[in-house]
Structure 1
């Protein structure tokens, strides 16, 4: 009975997620959190990120600019666009809604931390986070190799990213 109760509590939140969205929105991720927390639905780690996690600095199979580009494109598919690509501005509304949905889910299920430990969801989340981190490291490494070999995009960072000056940006006032 309790196993059925948790997904049922998430159903009202699932209805708020946009069905036509290509990528999972923050609201949808928050709404499906109980399913991940109870391991009814696990995040699947893409193969390219599993490979990156096992050997982020490997050059096996990386022989030219075309092979670097192919690998970077696969990583972009799994991770989303890299930081050197100008971002599309998103409305703050979706971020606020995602945060609210996440907090609502946490308040609905008492003892969620314990549930995550017992089901192994916390361990799976750490695996996913480690794979994403390794994928980002690998993409940066490959772009550095591509830059040293004078490869074109996407095998190297954009020209603007190379010219940018590091600076500490003050947080925006709310």
Structure 2
């Protein structure tokens, strides 16, 4: 019953162009939250983001356009698509409400959730992941600027 509700919420939140795999993945992320909160499942930071977190503005190994394109592709594979000028951003409000309801229901399963997350190490791990994601975005922007400056096709 709970899994069905969560999958429904994630499906409703999915954009029309989203695939079924993305809906299932989002529903799984919501459903597995309590397992992450108590520390039973560890959050892994992808290696490309670990490297970006060390120095998002490094230029070592970025001597050619193919190297820049490859690095940009690696980052986009983890971070999702980059911003595009003129892209139409529409939000599915009903879907977002359903997703929020699913998250609220699942988050309510762990009493004193924020305290449990700090004790279990889930909260610090999430902060490290968010910092790595921010560094990944900075790295992608830096590499895109470097590619434009070098007149690379990206």
Residue equivalent to 1:48: 48
Task: Determine which structure has greater relative contact order: mean sequence separation of CA pairs < 8 Å that are 6+ residues apart, divided by chain length.
Answer: 2
Deviation track 1:10-68 (CA, whole Å, cap 9, x = no partner) reads: xx4334326x424632x432222111111212221111001100110001110111111
Unaligned runs of 5+ in 1: 1-11, 154-174
TM-score by length of 1: 0.72
Deviation track 1:67-112 (CA, whole Å, cap 9, x = no partner) reads: 1100000000000001126367563343222211111123232211
Matches of 1:49 and 1:102, distance apart in 2: 26
Residue equivalent to 2:17: none
Q: Are the structure 2 counterparts of residues 125 and 115 from structure 1 closer, same or farther at C-alpha, using a change threshold of 3 Å?
A: same
Matches of 1:80 and 1:88, distance apart in 2: 15
Residue equivalent to 1:122: 123
Aligned length: 141
- Structure of larger gyration radius: 1
Matches of 1:87 and 1:78, distance apart in 2: 22
TM-score by length of 2: 0.81
Matches of 1:37 and 1:145, distance apart in 2: 39
> Please, what is the CA RMSD of the aligned residues?
2.1
Residue equivalent to 2:61: 61
Matches of 1:49 and 1:13, distance apart in 2: 33
